Amino acid sequence: MTVTKTAVYETLTESSAAALAVRLGLFSSKSTLTCREIGDGNLNLVFHVYDKEQKKGLIIKQAVPYAKVVGESWPLSLDRARIESSALIRQAAHAPHLVPQVYYSDTELAVTVLEDLSSLKIARKGLIEGKNYPNLSRDIGEFLGKTLFYSSDYALDPEVKKRLVKQFENPDLCDITESLVFTDPFLDHETNDFEEELRDDAEKIWADDALRLEAAALKKRFITSHETLIHGDLHTGSIFSGDAETKVIDPEFACFGPIGFDIGQFIANLLLNALAREEAERAPLFAHVETVWETFSRTFSEAWEKDALTPYRNAPEYLEDTLKKAFEDAAGFAGCEMIRRTIGLAHVADLETIVPFSRRISQKRLALEIGSAFIKKRKEYRTPKDLIDAFLEQAF
Ligand code: SR1
Ligand code: MG
């Protein structure tokens, strides 16, 4: 992997992206390339460059200096490209089979060149089509167990950890999460976006002082708890899945944060998909919720027993406490994610594609109720089964 600095930032086009790939020596100048902009996310340009003869492709991802989903009125630092490639490299050190390879990155052009994963599908899309991806939660649990342990204080020399916290300072993208996940959905804010039919439900949230207080406590935890390097945006749109493979992409929101954050976001997005499905089709999602926690806690515990520093390694009660707190946090963060994906700025296709409209509204209403219960009752929950029971209590 090379990191270079070019002179000037300019937004790539399909032809300049293909030319860049040739200039970098990733394709021969004689190859006939196709290049398409395929980005359907909220923030970046994504180009798929493909050589039909060699059957070889790659992805060029470029950050633009504003949030694409809103427009140029929301400026955003290009530094997220550096954060993303650095996070991918750290994650690859512990879970190389679960992240795309980085071929090249350029901090000035805000470009990352990545392995082509187009033989796989974005997990959210597959789950909406009814695919169940049997390995999904086991792979994500392993990814989380390894990446969250090996960037934590339990594994890192304190000096190294302090340097890493600085390296991964990500104020612009953390601000998005702080506002869109923890703040705006809990008050009558202009960024919120929901159907008029949900106004009473939104107002109920805005008037619920106990809920708002707990959401504030979770926000404070996200901001102040620098436990480990988190992915920061681990929803099912940040995962490529196939029958046998899983790859976690897009860690541009990476920062030091609480261990439970990624776990909670992943679980919330599984449950949002479950809400979109008929009851008879939900069991695989519930199984994923159980498996991701079991695999995460087993992988994290094994790494702890093998590699935790003194004095943590010989303190099994400390490991137990750490996992208990991570679970409680995960339940609360999952609740915030379910609420913000329903009435906040950034929605999810799982809920948006529910038909007919009346069912979409009733399922969104359930998402708000389940999310609120997760936030308020998170300290009572001990196992994934408790989360599923809380879901079923509302969704039956
Ligand atoms: C303005 S960005 C909106 C959302 O898209 C990203 O994927 C994050 O989830 C963010 O909150
Ligand atoms: Mg993303």
pLDDT value at residue 266: 99
Pocket of ligand 1 (CB under 6 A): 42-43, 67, 69, 176-177, 180, 233, 346
Bridge partners, residue 122, by sequence: 240
Q: In terms of Cα–Cα distance, which of 104, 114, 81 is closest to 4?
A: 104
Q: Tell whether 340 is in a known binding site.
A: yes
Structural domain 121-395, CATH architecture? Alpha-Beta Complex (3.90)
Residues in the chain: 396
The full set of domain ranges for the chain reads: 2-115, 121-395
Q: Both tokens of residue 162? A: 């302090």
Output the residue whose Cα is nearest ligand 1's atom 1: 67
Cβ neighbours of residue 272 under 8 Å, at least 6 residues apart? 338, 341, 348, 350, 351, 367
Fold: same for 2-115 and 121-395 = no
Output the residue whose Cα is nearest ligand 1's atom 2: 42
- For domain 2-115, give the CATH superfamily: Phosphorylase Kinase; domain 1 (3.30.200.20)
pLDDT tens series, the chain, 396 aa: 544 555 589 999 999 999 999 999 999 999 999 999 999 888 999 999 999 999 999 999 999 999 988 889 999 999 999 999 999 999 999 999 999 999 999 999 999 999 999 999 999 999 999 999 999 999 999 999 999 999 999 999 999 999 999 999 999 999 999 999 999 999 999 999 999 999 999 999 999 999 999 999 999 999 999 999 999 999 999 999 999 999 999 999 999 999 999 999 999 999 999 999 999 999 999 999 999 999 999 999 999 999 999 999 989 999 999 999 999 999 999 999 999 999 999 999 999 999 999 999 999 999 999 999 999 999 999 999 999 999 999 987
pLDDT value at residue 75: 93
Q: Tell whether 135 is in a known binding site.
A: no
Cβ distance 58 to 103 under 8 Å? Answer: yes
Task: Using the atom order of ligand 1, give the atom closest to the CA of residue 70.
Answer: 1
Cis peptide preceding 258, ω within 30 of 0: no
pLDDT value at residue 45: 95
Ligand nearest to the CA of 176: 1
Q: 298 to each of 38, 43, 277, 281, how far by Cα in Å?
A: 37, 34, 30, 28
Ligand nearest to the CA of 348: 1
pLDDT value at residue 280: 97
Cβ neighbours of residue 23 under 8 Å, at least 6 residues apart? none
- What is the rounded distance in angstroms from the CA atom of residue 82 to the CA atom of residue 107? 6
Cβ neighbours of residue 192 under 8 Å, at least 6 residues apart? 184, 185, 202, 343, 344, 345
pLDDT value at residue 5: 52
